[in-house]
A and B are shown apart, each in its own frame.
Chain A
Amino acid sequence: QVHLVESGGGVVQPGRSLRLSCAASGFTFKWYAMHWVRQAPGKGLEWVAVISDTGNEKEYADSAKGRFTISRDNFQNTVNLQMSSLTTDDTAVYYCVRGAGSGWYGRYFDYWGQGTLVTVSS
Chain B
Amino acid sequence: DIQMTQSPSSLSASVGDRLTITCRASQNIGSYLNWYQQKSGKAPKFLIYSASTLQSGVPSRFSGNASGTDFTLTISSLQPADFATYYCQQTYSPPLTFGPGTKVDLK
Interface bits B53-96 vs A (CB < 8 Å: 1, else 0): 00100000000000000000000000000000001010100111
- Give the Cβ gap from A78 to chain B, nearest Cβ, in Å: 18
Using A44-B100, A113-B43, A114-B43 as known contacts, say yes or no to A108 and B34 having CB atoms under 8 A apart: yes
Q: Is the interface of B mostly helix, strand, loop or mixed?
A: loop
B43 cross-chain contacts in A, Cβ below 8 A: 95, 112-115
A46 cross-chain contacts in B, Cβ below 8 A: 98
Q: Which of A17-70 contact B (CB under 8 A)?
A: 35, 44-47, 50, 59-62
- Give the Cβ gap from A73 to chain B, nearest Cβ, in Å: 23
Interface bits A79-120 vs B (CB < 8 Å: 1, else 0): 000000000000000010000010101111111111100000
B98 touches A44 (CB 8 A): yes
A95 cross-chain contacts in B, Cβ below 8 A: 43-44
Q: Which of B45, B91, B98, B100 makes the CB contact (< 8 A) with A108?
A: B91
Q: Please list the residues of chain A having a beta carbon within 8 angstroms of any beta carbon in chain B.
A: 35, 44-47, 50, 59-62, 95, 101, 103, 105-115
